[in-house]
Amino acid sequence: MIVTSCNENKKETVKGIDTNNLDTTAIAGNDFYRYADGGWIDSHALKPEHARFGTFDELDEKSRQQVKDLVIEISQKTNAQGSVAQKIGDLYALAMDSVRLNTENASPLISYLEKVNALTDKSNLTETLANLNRDGVSPFFSHYVAADDMNSSLNILHIYQGGYRMGDRDYYLLEDEHSQTLRAKYVELIEKLFTLSGYTSDDAKNASAAVMKIETQLAKVASSRVALRDPVANYHKIPLAELVQRAPDIDWTVFFDIIGIKNLKELDLGQLEPISEASKIIKEYPLQDIKYYLSWNVIRSASAYLSDDFSNASFEFYGKTLSGKEEQPERWKRAVDVIDGALGEAVGQIYVEKYFPPVAKEKMLGLVKNLQTALGERIENLSWMGGETKVKALDKLANFHVKIGYPDKWLDYSALQIDKKDSYLANVIRSNNFDYDYMISKFNQPVDKDEWQMNPQTVNAYYNPSTNEICFPAAILQPPFFNVDADDAVNYGAIGVVIGHEMTHGFDDQGRLYDKEGNLTDWWTAEDADKFKERAQVLVDFYDNIVVIDTVHANGQLTLGENIADQGGLQVSWQAYQNTLKGKEIPAPIDGFTGAQRFFLGYATVWAANIRDAEILRRTKMDVHSLGKWRVNGALPQIDTWYDAFNITPENTMYVPKEKRVAIW
């Protein structure tokens, strides 16, 4: 039980709920988000660097500061050449050397652009494409090595749509004022960065026209974000010969030879039409237009690692126009983020030694076990699911692979060279080469189910359907998510719901399509599948009716998986919390709030945030998660016990009649 303090001499425990974060002038049944988080929102005005800032981001800032402290401590020592410490320290120094970056300006970029501009005909285009991918640039399409969705024990090659860089395919296609403004600003960015890279004004204009034409053509055939959420519709395992037939203007033999894929017989082509369209563009467009497009991919990818002129121009569009940010994050924050990407597990190993006590992992294991028990109980008691499906659902639940804190085996960075004599960009590209080669090395190899997809210092959690795993990195196991000094009600409302959320992902509209081994296979009876879809549609319709800003509605289909996981996480964690109280006296109220009330306040605290209007629009278009406000005000009206805890009645605006509430897990 998570009720006592780590400090035995402490007379009072931290109570878990800071009443200063509440706004008790708000009516809980009309706007619970404001009631639970209004005080926090009022006292945390957005800084210029933030498009959104919430308790989630606050903890992320803490983790970033902790990493910075570790990096600086490492940098101040004399470290052996080739050691992890040398690599971390030197990469940080390169990122922080603004004088050198601004002096070098575009010069580190020139050699990469020269390789593109050296193309004299299309016969060598595939070679350039392959090398750009190794460098971390992916024109026309993306690809990766990961588990075969229908044979989860083996890693295969996946090819996926891509090649358009504005952020979402709809930005190229819609004619509303917002989308037109974004396109105009994007053209300005392209022209600005080409000019900074040494191109004439006329060349920059020609480049922007070519880039927009090619990216728009790719966007037109791309699947929507909603369509991409269907794993069955986005799985096409085909022989290599079919790929060649669909995209004959890419020399696939050359491509795979350069990237290191040997003996390729079949692959997963996620979306069929985009790869054919890419081949068509390569065949039909003038070579100069394609060179402009490839150069744009290089320049855009490099801009964060060049002078302030480049990074500021890129921020003007991606930070300010798209998200509403007013200033770039401080240079050290950007540097830490790059180190996290390049040497994440090396930093993570040091991070957990200093900041992650063993007791936290022990307590989390207990919580996860309690949540698994509660979810199992809920599955057994479902009235809408038949016995045959229940047996398989319980079997899948019992086979969850649980990861907490940090991996048991750390990634070896010996092959990565970081050299201060070279430019910041050159070192980042070497890091990209390292990551790429590591990914390719897994091709046609057994899936390593112990490998982590997040660093320990990441404030997040995930469920991976192909390995049937739930993962909770060390950094999220801190207040307000996880507080060893708080009462059980608060912890179950916060980290408990996070655990339940990730577990429920195994049974959301996507996760339910994978079996206990992580294979994409239909293990449901047709009747039970229909009942699930019917109940899920209620959730889609509910969120579709939410107005997020002005006349813009939430996208219930895009956010369905996360909304199911929120609803399921709340139900499962509440039951787990109730299980801890069996045979015990009901806990006395704290600060006037009952255990039930503290459970829901603990949940709402996690989503307190301020957000800019532009970021609301961007996230509504692109994010599979609902906005923080609606993860509270959209999720809680589906939970019967919330009504009881706060005496919500039909007179309250958040009230949903019981027969219309979503009931899935």
pLDDT (tens digit, 9 = 90+) per residue, 128-165? 999 999 999 999 999 999 999 999 999 999 999 999 99
CATH of the domain at 501: 3.40.390.10
Q: Is 600 part of any domain?
A: yes
Say which amino acid occupies 604. A
Residues 479 and 566 in one domain: yes
Instruction: Find the DSSP H helices in 285-412.
Output: 287-302, 308-315, 322-323, 331-355, 358-380, 387-398
The predicted structure's pLDDT at residue 8: 34
The edge-to-edge listing of strands for the beta sheet with 266-269 is: 141-148, 151-161, 266-269, 237-239
- Of 357-366, 443-452, 607-616, which gets the smallest average pLDDT? 357-366
Per residue in 192-228, pLDDT (tens digit) is: 999 999 999 999 999 999 999 999 999 999 999 999 9
Q: Is 11 part of any domain?
A: no
Taking CA atoms, 440 is separated from 347, 418, 464, in Å, by 23, 21, 20
| pLDDT class of 366 with cuts at 50, 70, 90 | very high
| pLDDT class of 357 with cuts at 50, 70, 90 | confident
Question: What is the pairing mode between strands 469-473 and 401-405?
Answer: parallel
The predicted structure's pLDDT at residue 358: 85
Rounded Cα distance between 67 and 61, Å, is: 10
Q: Is 50 part of any domain?
A: no
Residues in the chain: 665
The predicted structure's pLDDT at residue 34: 98
Query: Using an 8 Å Cβ cutoff, are 304 and 95 in contact?
Result: no
Domain stops at, among 287, 320, 344? 287
Query: Using an 8 Å Cβ cutoff, are 481 and 166 in contact?
Result: no
Q: Which two tokens stand for residue 413?
A: 């960075």
Helix axis angle for 358-380 and 387-398, nearest 10°, is: 170
Whole-model pTM? 0.94
| pLDDT class of 432 with cuts at 50, 70, 90 | very high
> Which residue in the block uniquely carries the two structure tokens 């619970």?
32
Per residue in 44-60, pLDDT (tens digit) is: 999 999 999 999 999 99
Residues 561 and 475 in one domain: yes
β-strand partners of 143: 159
Name the 3-class secondary structure at 250.
coil
Per residue in 383-431, pLDDT (tens digit) is: 999 999 999 999 999 999 999 999 999 999 999 999 999 999 999 999 9
Per residue in 412-422, pLDDT (tens digit) is: 999 999 999 99
Residues 144 and 267 in one domain: yes
Per residue in 447-493, pLDDT (tens digit) is: 999 999 999 999 999 999 999 999 999 999 999 999 888 999 999 99
Q: Is 214 part of any domain?
A: yes
Kindly tell me if the per-residue pLDDT of 6 is higher than 50: no
Rounded Cα distance between 522 and 234, Å, is: 15
Q: Is 16 left (phi over 0), alpha (psi -120 to 50) or beta?
A: left
Residues 391 and 281 in one domain: no
Task: Please name the helix (run of DSSP H) or strand (run of DSSP E) that holds residue 615, with its range, or none.
Answer: helix 613-622
Residues 282 and 388 in one domain: no
Mean pLDDT of the chain: 96
Q: Is 44 part of any domain?
A: no
The predicted structure's pLDDT at residue 15: 73
Cα dihedral 86, 343, 622, 179 in deg (nearest 10): 30
β-strand partners of 268: 158, 237
Q: Is 516 part of any domain?
A: yes
The predicted structure's pLDDT at residue 360: 84
Q: Is 380 part of any domain?
A: yes
Residues 165 and 247 in one domain: yes
Residues 278 and 365 in one domain: no
The predicted structure's pLDDT at residue 13: 43
The predicted structure's pLDDT at residue 169: 96
Per residue in 259-279, pLDDT (tens digit) is: 999 999 999 999 999 999 999
Please list, in sequence order, all residues whose beta carbon lies within 8 angstroms of the beta carbon of residue 597, skipping any fewer than 6 positions away.
645, 646
Residues 392 and 512 in one domain: yes
Residues 456 and 549 in one domain: yes
| pLDDT class of 5 with cuts at 50, 70, 90 | very low
Q: Is 14 part of any domain?
A: no
Tell me which residue range forms the domain holding 224: 136-287
Going by C-alpha positions, the residue among 196, 1, 232, 186 that lies closest to residue 102 is 196
Residues 158 and 255 in one domain: yes
Distance of CA 610 to the CA centre of its chain: 19
Would you call the peptide bond into 473 cis, given omega within 30 degrees of 0 as the criterion? no
Domain stops at, among 240, 264, 287? 287
pLDDT over 90, % of the chain: 95
Q: For the chain, what is the domain count?
A: 2
Rounded Cα distance between 271 and 100, Å, is: 43
β-strand partners of 464: 469
| pLDDT class of 621 with cuts at 50, 70, 90 | very high
Query: Using an 8 Å Cβ cutoff, are 459 and 59 in contact?
Result: yes
Name the 3-class secondary structure at 483.
coil
- Of 8-12, 15-19, 77-81, 186-190, which gets the smallest average pLDDT? 8-12
In sequence order, what DSSP letters do the residues of 241-253 get, joined into one string? HHHHHH-TTS-HH
Query: Using an 8 Å Cβ cutoff, are 563 and 508 in contact?
Result: no
The predicted structure's pLDDT at residue 11: 33
Kindly tell me if the per-residue pLDDT of 378 is higher than 50: yes
In sequence order, what DSSP letters do the residues of 85-109 get, joined into one string? HHHHHHHHHHHH-HHHHHHHTTHHH
Query: Using an 8 Å Cβ cutoff, are 438 and 373 in contact?
Result: no
The predicted structure's pLDDT at residue 485: 85
β-strand partners of 611: 52
Per residue in 545-598, pLDDT (tens digit) is: 999 999 999 999 999 999 999 999 999 999 999 999 999 999 999 999 999 999
Residues 399 and 537 in one domain: yes
CATH of the domain at 244: 1.10.1380.10
CB-facing half-sphere around the CA of 212: CA atoms within 13 A = 20
Domain stops at, among 287, 310, 334? 287
- Judging by beta carbons within 10 Å of its beta carbon (0-12, 13-18, 19+), is residue 522 exposed, middle or buried? exposed
Rounded Cα distance between 141 and 84, Å, is: 33
Q: What is the 3-state secondary structure (H, E, C) of 203-242?
A: HHHHHHHHHHHHHHHHHHHCCCCCHHHCCCCCCCEEEHHH
Residues 270 and 362 in one domain: no
